[in-house]
Structure 1
Amino acid sequence: MKKAQVIAVVFAVIFVGGLYSLPRVVVDNEESGAALQESGTEEQSSALNQMHDAPMDADDRASLYQFQQSFEDASPEESLGIAEKIGEIYSKAGKYDSAAYFLGLAAERTSSPESWEKAGTAYYEAFTFALNEQKMSFLAEKTRNYLNKVLEKDPKRLDLKTKVAMTYVSSANPMQGITMLREVLEEDPTNADGLYNMGVLSMQSGQYKKAAERFEELVKYHPEHIQGQFYLGVSYFESKQNNKAKKQFQEVQGMTQDPMILSSVESYLGRL
């Protein structure tokens, strides 16, 4: 798949959710951790910038001001709830780093596993939207700072370990992230996040047969995973398994009403 096609696929299904966890790099060789190449185009950056610059309506702005005033005087016990409300408004406006900032402040005040997880998850979401390396690095570090605190107390939280792993995949040490994803799958071979992300990494590195194997496992255990179902079709298509690709895309058509996914599926079917 050419780089432009990868980006087209991403934007075809990006609003379904979950695809913001895609790393901003292509792993050329998943098994050996060979050289990395940056992916993305001016069009991709422009589209994401528009999400970041989404306008905030007057009512939300007024509510935000009130919540921020309340947050300043709130007790540690009250801080997290108010920060969540602030975060909801900022997230609605596409300002994910601002949402994470207030949840991080609340986490510092309360120092509870719940607040660490909410802050870390918010920073991870902001990380997946980041458009430059410096900001990505900062947000990734914040993500790890909070989520690792939760993992220290509860190492079984594989969902959080997967998020931490994905912050490393886009770093100067991507193999650390891939190793962590493998550890997740060793502990839980049916883990949806682990299978999905390893499949995406294989696809981005051009290893479509390996990607298909990952997505086959994913949908075997999680048939409702629409992104996995869609990418299984893409992996079949790119590995020249046309009969399987056609059947898979037809199955996806019966699983969702999302117009962007359906449009992309129709495009693939038209090329088979």
Structure 2
Amino acid sequence: MKKSQIIILIIGVISIGVLFSLPRVVVDNDEGDAPIESEEAQASSKPVEELHDAPIPAEAREALTSLASQLESEGNKEKFAVLADTLASLYTQIGKFDSAAFFLEQSAIRLETLESLEKTGNAYYEAFTFALNEEKIAYLADKTRVYLNKVLEKDPKRLDLKTKVAMTYVSSSNPMQGITMLREILEEDPTNEDGLYNMGVLSMQSGQYKRAAERFEELVRYHPDNLQGQFYLGVSYFESKQNNKAKKQFQEVQRMTTDPMVLASVESYLDKL
């Protein structure tokens, strides 16, 4: 699973806080006839710079200002792209993912290559996964779809990109569109890592832990090195009161990693079993 950078395994002890930043949807009893709840979120037309207000570290500000000035006066589109990539990299390093995406977008507008479009869409998706404000989530989701759909028009077999587009719909006013897309991905590729993972996470978020366990069982069967899936399988067993399976699964996670945060969280679950 890419991005993904997308979900940190553990925050806190027993709570899986990251799940509650996902849209409140009920995914599936039989893969999806259950009701769906979601708050309206319409994309903002505000420029991306206005949507985040976290301060920039003083040591980074000078370099960013200098590069931005060079970018503004650069007429050669190849040199412009190099400067934009450098700016995006710096913004990513300081956690300004929306600004990183914004500058990659300026490059994509000039280059109009599939590579630049994909890079921009992926950057907006990364920003989307970290966003908390509803207006910002909607704006970044819309931008993600704009650019990744352009790539998918040329290469519809890119299920990795289709998965990202699906997840942006899950947090929109039409979450079923995203869930339907995830199902289509799994129909086309039943072993798809991203599809299985995200359907499992959505089942967890909606409290359907037995269904989540089924999804994560499939995931780790085909992708045993997916640590997130292995961990969430243990959580799903725990929450669905399958204590023996949960204990065995958490012990498996212990064998897979030396990450102290993961191990601490696993220990907290084992102590409760």
Alignment correspondent of 1:46: none
Question: What amino acid is the match of 2:200?
Answer: G
Distance 2:100 2:18 in 1: 16
Distance 1:22 1:149 in 2: 30
* Alignment CA distance shift 1:23-1:146 (3 Å): farther
Question: What amino acid is the match of 1:171?
Answer: S
- 1:125 deviation in Å? 1.0
- 1:23 deviation in Å? 5.8
* Alignment CA distance shift 1:242-1:37 (3 Å): farther
* Alignment CA distance shift 1:190-1:65 (3 Å): same
Query: Is 1:260–2:261 an aligned residue pair?
Result: yes
* Alignment CA distance shift 1:12-1:254 (3 Å): farther
Could you say what secondary structure the match of 1:25 adopts?
Answer: coil
Distance 2:261 2:163 in 1: 27
Higher relative contact order (CA closer than 8 Å, sequence separation 6+): 2
* Alignment CA distance shift 1:22-1:90 (3 Å): farther
Quick check: 1:22–1:200 contact (8 Å CA) kept in 2? no
Alignment correspondent of 1:69: 69
- 1:20 deviation in Å? 7.2
Alignment correspondent of 1:56: 57
- 1:28 deviation in Å? 2.4
- 1:65 deviation in Å? 2.6
* Alignment CA distance shift 1:12-1:54 (3 Å): farther
1:15-74 deviations in Å (ceiling 9; x for gaps): xxxx97986222224312513167xxxxxxxxxxxx98375251x333323322332215
TM (normalized to structure 2)? 0.84
Map 1:1-272 onto structure 2 (within 5 A): 10-12=10-12, 24-30=22-28, 31-36=32-37, 53=54, 56=57, 58=59, 60-72=60-72, 73-272=74-273
Distance 1:267 1:199 in 2: 22
TM (normalized to structure 1)? 0.84
* Alignment CA distance shift 1:114-1:8 (3 Å): closer
1:224-250 deviations in Å (ceiling 9; x for gaps): 111000000000111111111001101
Quick check: 1:12–1:260 contact (8 Å CA) kept in 2? no
Question: What amino acid is the match of 2:215?
Answer: R
Quick check: 1:20–1:125 contact (8 Å CA) kept in 2? no
* Alignment CA distance shift 1:24-1:222 (3 Å): same
Quick check: 1:54–1:93 contact (8 Å CA) kept in 2? no
Distance 2:78 2:20 in 1: 35
Unpaired runs of 5+ in structure 2?
Answer: 1-6, 40-51
Quick check: 1:212–1:232 contact (8 Å CA) kept in 2? yes
Could you say what secondary structure the match of 2:35 adopts?
Answer: coil
* Alignment CA distance shift 1:54-1:191 (3 Å): farther
Percent identity, please.
Answer: 63
- 1:127 deviation in Å? 1.1
Question: What amino acid is the match of 2:177?
Answer: Q
Could you say what secondary structure the match of 1:162 adopts?
Answer: helix
- Structure 1 window deviating more from structure 2 (129-138 vs 196-205): it is 129-138
Quick check: 2:24–2:205 contact (8 Å CA) kept in 1? yes
* Alignment CA distance shift 1:29-1:137 (3 Å): same
Question: What amino acid is the match of 1:67?
Answer: L
Question: What amino acid is the match of 2:25?
Answer: V
Quick check: 2:36–2:176 contact (8 Å CA) kept in 1? no
Question: What amino acid is the match of 1:112?
Answer: T
Quick check: 1:23–1:170 contact (8 Å CA) kept in 2? no
Question: What amino acid is the match of 2:219?
Answer: L
